[in-house]
Amino acid sequence: MFFRILQWAFHQRWLTWSQKLHGYLMKGFAKLADRGDADAQELYGFLLLFKGADDASRTAGAHYLLRCVSVDRPKVCWQLHRLYQQGKVIGFSQDNARAETYLALAKQSGHPLALDLPLPEI
């Protein structure tokens, strides 16, 4: 319930104009993500990964995505595939075996971009 309120507030553009309020929202997401809320881990992970101020933030975002990966989260599976395929985030060096594992999971979950790619032959 608290996640849905935070999520609603975060998507109200007029509420996030304030740096202070934005900081409170991010702390709320972080607290929920650290407690194991998979929805918060996914949203907070993507926020840090794509909007993080530095490499440490982007790495933390990728770690939050790792914590919530499942067949029920196709975007997370696809993003982890891309992270391991590209190897551009600290701590997520290029690893084709892991990239293929997450590609298979993204395909299984029905991610449209993953469905367009063939699985490599082993």
* Model pTM score: 0.88
The residue type found at 35 is: R
Q: Which two tokens stand for residue 41?
A: 């881990």
Quick one: CA torsion of 90, 102, 99, 49, rounded to 10 degrees? -30
Please tell me whether residue 51 adopts helix, strand or coil conformation: helix
Of residues 88 and 122, more confidently modeled: 88
- Segment 35-88, tens digit of pLDDT: 999 999 999 999 999 999 999 999 999 999 999 999 999 999 999 999 999 999
Q: What is the DSSP letter of 15?
A: G
Residue 30, Cβ neighbours under 10 Å: how many? 17
- In DSSP terms, which residues pair with 92 in a beta bridge? 89
